[in-house]
Structure 1
């Protein structure tokens, strides 16, 4: 099985969907709890949500494998992105609920984690770097857009109800102020759900690692609350809800390309 799928577009925009994959190899799946085999912490259906972006000329990069195999949005040394807060790791052993991913005494060893970094993590990040470089060479600039989604209520990770749209720019460092202002204006004008900028989700490893604003490479993360486009319990995609979310995403991407 291929590690990822890359669609190369014609615009100065790369959409990365690092938690879109659902596949777990049999040897790993056999060691997971029954609940974890459903891969509940997937960023469900984000490829479907962003499929229209091909019409805008965007490149799209998405992995095949689940974040339970390896989390592509974590640093390879597994340094915490949110010190002092509950989170999950490079090869997660806890679900977003706090429940275990693995059966007792079946968690991956340090050697196995290192192997997964080589097999899954490095190829995805090499593709990221190469596509950003290609886009910048063609257009003189590039925007990396990180597309994510998550359940709207997860007490293990955050208090209360998550806003519908969570824009992250690493505290304003991963893109130019003008771009952030355009995106904030789009979020202020939409009526689907509430929005926040640089709240609980400020941008993960990819957003923080790959921006180079001074050389024309900007990065933005959008974390969506899944309630607005799917059933959070059954994981069913709900097109009548999703179309409204897609309209907001379209306006955000158009503002990015402006």
Structure 2
């Protein structure tokens, strides 16, 4: 089974795609119940939505987040203490429902095997690509691509804004990158946006975003209602996507053109 898709470009921008994969190796799938096998919590179609918008490197894992979540701290520490969330090897879906048959959840040894087999290679690839483009430009920008259903009561109240920008309260990138991205989202007619709301950036954004070291990171969590239907079989909505993609292209082009002051 192929684990990664990497497409290289020479711009300073690297797109991370940790949750679009749908592959579940047979040994990991064996313990999943019907809820787990439904893989509802995929960042559906995100790689298609962003395809061709800008010259940028992309790093995508093909393995589903139910195997191991590539956007979680590999030590298992929660990103959102005190709030409902899912872990490094999720045991429930986003609605709080178990995804394994009782007694077949991964134990500590299995979690470590999955971390080494699936989580570590994805991040090794990100490290390599960020270092490569930083060597060219003197800096790198990681744009972490995500999406989620717009209504999930287990995780958040009400309806999620369309654009959810996360910079861990401004810590993971230059303020000009944060402001430019947020301004574009706020100017997008017919869409709603928020900065560092429910989603402040996952482990990837927080781990790699070190502006003082020349690596900037920002997470974009899109409400799935902006480009697809939020019900099985989770179909891509081409008309919605055509309306959304120009705004995403503006963001990515702006980040590609950004230079440190």
User: TM-score, normalised on structure 2?
Assistant: 0.96
Q: For 1:185-225, what per-residue CA distance to the aligned partner results, in whole angstroms no more than 9, with x for missing partners?
A: 10111014210000000000000001121122100000000
For the residue of structure 2 that corresponds to 1:52, the secondary structure is coil
Distance in 1 (CA, whole Å) between partners of 2:11 and 2:106 is 40
For the residue of structure 1 that corresponds to 2:5, the secondary structure is strand
Q: Does 1:197 align with 2:195?
A: yes
Task: Provide the residue aligned with 1:8 in structure 2.
Answer: 8
Q: For 1:93-140, what per-residue CA distance to the aligned partner results, in whole angstroms no more than 9, with x for missing partners?
A: 010000001011110011000000110011111111111000000111
Residue pairs, 1:131-142, within 5 angstroms: 131-142=129-140
- Flag structure 2 segments of 5+ consecutive residues without an equivalent: none
Distance in 2 (CA, whole Å) between partners of 1:169 and 1:250 is 19
Count of equivalent residues: 256
Which aligned segments of 4 or more residues in structure 1 are displaced greater than 3 angstroms?
none
For the residue of structure 2 that corresponds to 1:94, the secondary structure is coil
Task: Provide the residue aligned with 2:239 in structure 1.
Answer: 240
Q: Is the 8 A contact 1:192 1:244 kept in 2?
A: no
User: TM-score, normalised on structure 1?
Assistant: 0.97
- Flag structure 1 segments of 5+ consecutive residues without an equivalent: none
Task: Provide the residue aligned with 1:44 in structure 2.
Answer: 44
For the residue of structure 1 that corresponds to 2:14, the secondary structure is strand
Q: Is the 8 A contact 2:185 2:191 kept in 1?
A: no
For the residue of structure 2 that corresponds to 1:35, the secondary structure is helix
Task: Provide the residue aligned with 1:102 in structure 2.
Answer: 100
Q: Is the 8 A contact 1:192 1:245 kept in 2?
A: no
